């Protein structure tokens, strides 16, 4: 695969547009900066700070029981009394509405969690924006996707202690950087056929967060891809302890300093974690 050197101004403009959109999504009224509470559900009913109802995870999946005067909006319809969400699939999320907040119910690492997304979150309201290295075309290099014969189940720890994720890895992305041959295990990306790579490098824990994510467009028919490290992005766990992000596979530690993409966030939120009704320190 041959890359044509992009016009530097155009390259920087397109990168800026990408980064602005990512920042807008992160800091939107119900984006991840709005999360203020995380609660792990169990068979013991519990009330969650700021969230209507009493929540339980049992044989029926997740059930919420709303007191008189309490209401949630589920799928655009008001819900009162008892409502069964049932079982959620792997990494599935359901968003419900309570006033101007969103109550997110999700499956993470084989457990159910409820997160409150409040537009009044101090982390969101005081967010200064995420610094990044200047966009540089030299960090956008050609690569090749090499599929496995069969997707490989890959277990990785979650950023939240006690959570483990399992992803099917379809293959690896190979590329060359400054004369070094590198390879990264890839997971499925957000768009059909695209790839998501979690990695760390020699800047991790120094100028950048402990690890970052890179979305790669669907490979061409010959497996060709573009590895644009300028778009190495922080995951939600870089901003808050109320995130359960997967961490990179052990083999995805690059022995080079990737001085491209997003830097360590300037601020970080804590919030509250509850389990079986108890508030835990985070």
Three-state secondary structure of 224-278: EEEEEHHHCECCHHHCECCCCCECCCHHHECCCCCCCCECCCCCCECCEEEECCE
pLDDT, residue 21, reads: 98
% pLDDT > 70, the chain: 95
pLDDT digits (tens, 9 = 90+) for 168-222: 999 999 999 989 999 999 999 999 999 999 999 999 999 999 999 999 999 999 9
Work out whether the CA dihedral 111, 112, 117, 122 comes out positive or negative.
negative
CA–CA separation, 30 vs 96, rounded Å? 11
Chain centroid to Cα 49, Å, comes to 23
Phi, psi dihedral angles at 33 (to 5 degrees): -70, -15
Average pLDDT over residues 255-260: 98
Measured CA distances, 222 to 80, 145, 219 (Å): 54, 9, 7
- With a threshold of 0.85, does the pTM exceed it? yes
Both tokens assigned to 102: 């969103």
Angle at 43 between CA 282 and CA 102, to 5 degrees: 55
Measured CA distances, 197 to 136, 150, 185, 232 (Å): 20, 18, 7, 9
Q: For all residues of the chain together, what is the average pLDDT?
A: 93
Banded pLDDT at 5 (limits 50, 70, 90):
low
């Amino acid at each position: 695969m041959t890359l044509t050197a992009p016009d530097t101004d155009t390259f920087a403009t397109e990168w800026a547009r990408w980064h602005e959109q990512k920042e807008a999504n992160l800091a939107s009224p119900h984006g991840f900066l709005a999360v203020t509470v995380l609660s792990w559900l169990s068979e013991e009913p519990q009330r969650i700070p700021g969230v209507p109802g009493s929540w339980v995870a049992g044989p029926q999946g997740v059930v919420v029981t709303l007191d008189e005067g309490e209401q949630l909006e589920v799928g655009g319809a008001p819900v009162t009394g008892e409502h069964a969400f049932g079982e959620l699939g792997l990494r599935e999320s359901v968003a419900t509405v309570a006033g101007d907040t969103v109550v997110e119910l999700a499956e993470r690492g084989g457990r159910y969690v409820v997160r409150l997304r409040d537009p009044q979150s101090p982390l969101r309201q005081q967010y200064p924006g995420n610094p990044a290295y200047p966009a540089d075309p030299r960090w956008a290099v050609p690569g090749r996707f090499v599929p496995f014969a069969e997707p490989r189940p890959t277990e990785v720890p979650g950023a939240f202690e006690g959570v483990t994720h399992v992803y099917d890895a379809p293959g690896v992305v190979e590329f060359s950087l400054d004369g070094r041959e590198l390879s990264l295990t890839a997971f499925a990306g957000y768009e059909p056929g695209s790839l998501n790579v979690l990695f760390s490098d020699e800047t991790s824990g120094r100028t950048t967060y402990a690890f970052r994510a890179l979305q790669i467009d669907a490979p061409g028919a010959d497996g060709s891809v573009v590895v644009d490290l300028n778009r190495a992005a922080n995951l939600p766990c870089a901003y808050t302890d109320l995130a359960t992000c997967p961490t990179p596979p052990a083999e995805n530690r690059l022995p080079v300093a990737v001085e491209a993409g997003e830097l360590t966030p300037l601020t970080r939120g804590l919030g509250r974690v509850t389990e079986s009704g108890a508030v835990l320190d985070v």
